[in-house]
Structure 1
Amino acid sequence: MSQATPNKPSQHLSQLIAEFPRRHLLIAIAACCLLFITLMVMPSQEAEALRTSQSITLPIASKPIIEEPAVAATPQAPWKELVVQKGDNLSLLFQRAQLTGRDVYEITSSSKKAKQLTQIYPGQKVAFQIDADGKLLALKHQHDLLKSTLYQRAEDGFTVTDLEREPEIRQRHVTATISSSLYTAASKAGLQQNLIMEMANVFGGVIDFVYDIREGDSFSILFQEHFIDGKKVGSGPILAAEFINQDQSYKAYRYEYGNGDIGYYNEQGISMRKAFLRAPLDFTRISSSFNPNRLHPVFKTKRPHRGIDYAAPKGTPVYATGDGRVVEAGYNKANGNYVVIKHGESYTTKYLHFTKRAVKRGQKVKQQQIIGWVGSTGYATGPHLHYEFLVNGVHRNPRTVLRKLPKAVSIAAADKDEFLKQIGSLQMQLAAFQNHHKYAANTSATNNAL
């Protein structure tokens, strides 16, 4: 029985393998494995083409754009503004705006603050915002050019918002020479009355504007003015000022402390505010001076006049000349309406013949606080203020005793650096304005001479 003949190709391959060097054989096996793995991982061209076609981002078919008709925004209801006339009240204004008494009640009863709407004055403006159905949406009450109150309808009534416009602040410089009176010179220079009074208050501790003013005296002030929409609405504080009285110069600069307090000091930091004012009222004349041997104008007998009489129109305000407490405030046959103020332990001031008092007994008062108004009550031949000054119970001449009183305080050492920093720019501005004014005056005089 014969054996099967082996397959020749297989036998030939085995022989080749057996004869192939071992190292080359291992390399060939590794190459074959690598080729197999590569073929398993790489997809066919068709598969690759299919995969690539699925991964491409195609533009998304957008929905057809349907142009809807433009919806106009609901127009804001217009405002209707009314000016309060003499004799007007809130009901009349609402009637003119075609609103009802129910609308008046609805807005004024919406909050406690809304009740201030009942206080309207001629010249003020009230604006109404009313929708097409006649419903009140909002109301604006303009108190003045700076302050307004806005009432806006809400779910449960009206909200109330206070509005205040910030004015544009400009600086202005004014200088003038006195020929008749301070008030006349300042008015001709364009200063408002409140600013004139403020200037008198600034220098009231060093100048007696009743007795000390002379023809040829001059002043120069730098101050603020406030504007709204290009219209002047008021004057701000004095920033710096110089007053030349009888050839003596007094300068004052405004200084604001960190806590908001304001003071006026000279360039050395000495306060312009003295312990007592030189006079208890502004821009009057002395009708009777301190005189121990004066003939009394009513009784025509020789009686000492232990104070100074300032003739002034009835109703002229009278100021406390220093801080203190009112120890007497009443009326009697001789003095009429009078006030007595105690200033510490040593000093007392008396003010007689008021038409009306503004303070009560026991009340604390500040320097320059109004305590009454000039009148002619009691033994008086005409409207005037009788003013007395006592030191330890003894009458002294109010005009001369002030020289013996304690000096004004100086700015604290801790504030000195900040003070000098603040007034430095004011000094330069005041000097620049003054030099410009002198140059303009000299130029004008030269042109007139030519």
Structure 2
Amino acid sequence: MPPQKTKTPRYPKSHIMAASGIAAALSIFLLVIPTTDVEARRTFVPLELETSPILEGQPSVSDQLDALISETVTVASPLQLAHPTETPIQTEASPAILQSRATAPESTSAELAETTDSPPTDWISVTVAAGNTLSVLFSQLGFSAASLHSVVSSSKDAQRFTRLKVGQVVEFKKDETGELLAIRSKLNDLETIRLDKKGGTFAFTTESIKPDVRTRFAKGEINSSLFLSAQKAGLSHNLTMQMANIFGYDVDFAREIRKGDSFEILFEELHVGEKRVGTNNILAARFTNRGKIFTAVRYTDKNGNSSYYRADGTSMRKAFIRTPVELARISSRYNPNRRHPVLKTVRPHRGVDYAAATGTPIRATGDGRVVHAGRKGGYGNTVVIKHGQKYQTLYAHMSRFAKGLKAGDNVSQGQVIGYVGTTGLSTGPHLHYEFLVNGTHVDPLNVKLPVSDPIPKAERTAFLEISNSLMAKLDQQGSTQLASLEE
């Protein structure tokens, strides 16, 4: 059978005319409506559409187009003119308003800034970037070299503005002519420094906030290292070092710390409002090392001198501290029969070596007078300190000496006298430390150190009241924290 032909459907002529009219109207509508990228002017195009009904009882094509335009403008977001100070296009506007928009001259850039910019603030804020100096900041802001000289030379304190750090915020204030009136910078949460022009120079002032001092408790158990355990307990690096220094007379933190050792401390925490801004002194502490308990209480005597004593009032301070390099690793001990690693001969090792990075500070282990500061054969850069008539200490292989240190200077216990290095006969950066008693070498790790005086009898009663109160707080806080952890 021959294939049947498919019949093309025929629509009424009135329907085809209506559809063609709507399509033409929509095309014109899309062409005449402006976008955000074109100039904000309207062009009116007269449209004459036949009003042939689509179906009996339905609105005409013209009526449907009017309704469509009205609905589209109502639903869509208002279209903005290209000029930021003009008002949005309205769906209805009089010819006079439209003519005004089309013929009005464009605003000048000055007028635009005046319209859109917020008023300038009194202070211009600049954040210091890498490589910035005060001279660079002055140049960026248009201040003269004479103005910079006037600032820096106004006082010694004013030179603090030349020691800028990356991220530091510095603020400048100008007068109507652009001349510098003042500079200020917040150094931390507690201190702001400032310079104000007075006459022909600048006056320096510092604004300090006095923080609230609160007492806080912390405890921890050492599993791997003192630093990690202290950090986990919420202690800052400075507090950890303070604790190590307090117990440094009794505990050698370089070789005697063991897993399971523990600590409890009461310390001062500084707050501005509810914000923690730092820490201050340790008030009381308890350190357990290999089962032995050491205590410390801070006490200020009637003369205003503060020191740490054991809870019973005996002195913690000895004439010498055990280690001249804080928390360093012992790489070689005192050994009269050691084979020298460089000379390859049996040569007594009459001291202790502390391995540390080049540049690590070296501290004097006791009060005394420097009798040598310079090169000393295989020792390299060396400092020798005499402590009274009986004791002497030696510090060798330094990379450099403390600034200004020389023979004849008096030094105090804990004072930095030089920095770790590898000068002389040395296979790597370390400090070689020797201890002599009446001119004879002894093992610095095992020598019995002389003890300082205990609490004076006249102040013993006052000290014990403070000591008993602080030790009770340690016990109470420790029990409270343990109970909260068990819950």
TM-score by length of 2: 0.69
Any stretches of 5+ residues in structure 2 without a counterpart? 1-118
How many residue pairs get matched? 367
Shift of residue 381 of structure 1?
A: 1.7
**1:309 matched to 2:349:** no
| 2:479 counterpart (411, 435, 441) | 435
In structure 1, how many angstroms separate the alpha carbons of the residues matched to 2:149 and 2:351? 59
In structure 2, how many angstroms separate the alpha carbons of the residues matched to 1:311 and 1:100? 52
CA deviation digits over 1:215-239, x for unaligned, max 9? 1111111212223454433221111
Matched-pair contact (CA < 8 Å) for 1:389–1:398: yes
Shift of residue 342 of structure 1?
A: 0.7
2:244 counterpart letter in structure 1:
A
Counterpart secondary structure, 1:160: strand
| Residue 287 to residue 425, structure 1, CA distance change in 2 (3 Å) | same
1:215 counterpart letter in structure 2:
K
Matching residue of 1:72: none
In structure 2, how many angstroms separate the alpha carbons of the residues matched to 1:249 and 1:180? 20
Shift of residue 95 of structure 1?
A: 4.3
**1:324 matched to 2:368:** yes
Aligned pairs (5 A) from 1:396-415: 396-402=442-448, 405-415=449-459
Aligned pairs (5 A) from 1:73-88: 78-88=122-132
In structure 2, how many angstroms separate the alpha carbons of the residues matched to 1:259 and 1:121? 39
Matched-pair contact (CA < 8 Å) for 2:311–2:468: no
Matched-pair contact (CA < 8 Å) for 1:337–1:352: yes
Shift of residue 383 of structure 1?
A: 1.9
| 1:126 counterpart (170, 174, 189) | 170
Counterpart secondary structure, 2:447: helix
Any stretches of 5+ residues in structure 1 without a counterpart? 1-74, 445-450
| Residue 123 to residue 299, structure 1, CA distance change in 2 (3 Å) | same
| 2:237 counterpart (183, 188, 193) | 193
| Residue 287 to residue 134, structure 1, CA distance change in 2 (3 Å) | closer
Matching residue of 2:406: 360
Matched-pair contact (CA < 8 Å) for 1:77–1:132: no
Matching residue of 1:347: 391
Matching residue of 1:384: 430
| Residue 346 to residue 106, structure 1, CA distance change in 2 (3 Å) | closer
In structure 1, how many angstroms separate the alpha carbons of the residues matched to 2:155 and 2:262? 54
Matched-pair contact (CA < 8 Å) for 2:335–2:348: yes
**1:104 matched to 2:148:** yes
1:146 counterpart letter in structure 2:
L
Aligned pairs (5 A) from 1:11-410: 78-111=122-155, 113-228=157-272, 230-358=274-402, 359-402=405-448, 405-410=449-454
Using the aligned pairs only, state the percent identity. 46
| Residue 280 to residue 129, structure 1, CA distance change in 2 (3 Å) | same
Counterpart secondary structure, 1:197: helix
Matched-pair contact (CA < 8 Å) for 2:315–2:451: no
1:79 counterpart letter in structure 2:
W
| Residue 383 to residue 269, structure 1, CA distance change in 2 (3 Å) | same
| Residue 111 to residue 193, structure 1, CA distance change in 2 (3 Å) | closer
In structure 2, how many angstroms separate the alpha carbons of the residues matched to 1:102 and 1:142? 25
CA deviation digits over 1:149-180, x for unaligned, max 9? 22223345433222222223333222111122
2:419 counterpart letter in structure 1:
W
Counterpart secondary structure, 1:407: coil
| Residue 219 to residue 137, structure 1, CA distance change in 2 (3 Å) | same
Shift of residue 263 of structure 1?
A: 0.3
Matched-pair contact (CA < 8 Å) for 1:137–1:153: yes
Matched-pair contact (CA < 8 Å) for 1:205–1:276: yes
Shift of residue 306 of structure 1?
A: 1.5
1:288 counterpart letter in structure 2:
S
Counterpart secondary structure, 1:431: helix
Counterpart secondary structure, 2:445: helix
In structure 2, how many angstroms separate the alpha carbons of the residues matched to 1:217 and 1:375? 32
Shift of residue 184 of structure 1?
A: 2.7
Counterpart secondary structure, 2:378: coil
| Residue 290 to residue 122, structure 1, CA distance change in 2 (3 Å) | same
| Residue 320 to residue 96, structure 1, CA distance change in 2 (3 Å) | same
In structure 1, how many angstroms separate the alpha carbons of the residues matched to 2:427 and 2:133? 45
Query: Which has the higher mean CA deviation after the structures are superposed, 346-355 or 303-312?
Result: 303-312
In structure 1, how many angstroms separate the alpha carbons of the residues matched to 2:300 and 2:120? 45
Query: Which has the higher mean CA deviation after the structures are superposed, 418-427 or 362-371?
Result: 418-427
In structure 2, how many angstroms separate the alpha carbons of the residues matched to 1:383 and 1:110? 44
CA deviation digits over 1:275-318, x for unaligned, max 9? 11122222222222222222222222222221122222322222
In structure 1, how many angstroms separate the alpha carbons of the residues matched to 2:155 and 2:401? 37
